[in-house]
Amino acid sequence: MVSDTNQLKMKSADGKYYNTDVMNTEQILRLVQSIPSKKAEPFKLWLAQVGKERIEKRKPT
């Protein structure tokens, strides 16, 4: 899978700066959703529950 990442120079433990692939929140969530592993399912379910709660919280009463 090719991801839509950007590069950011970050300082490593050795004190040098290296280009590192980075993603924003939306990109990370989409990446997690695409993982076909059964081990990812609990996290996907948790994300769905949190998303549902956030949507319900924004509904006008």
pLDDT digits (tens, 9 = 90+) for 15-54: 999 999 888 888 888 888 899 999 999 999 999 999 899 9
Residue 15 lies in a domain: yes
pLDDT band (50, 70, 90) for residue 61: low
pLDDT band (50, 70, 90) for residue 3: low
Residue 1 lies in a domain: no
Nearest to 19 by CA among 34, 7, 6, 37: 7
pLDDT at res. 29: 87
For 22, the enclosing helix (H) or strand (E) is: strand 17-22
The domain tally of the chain equals: 1
Residue 26 lies in a domain: yes
Domain, as residue range, for 45: 6-58
- Please provide the average confidence, as pLDDT, over all residues in the chain: 87
Residue 54 lies in a domain: yes
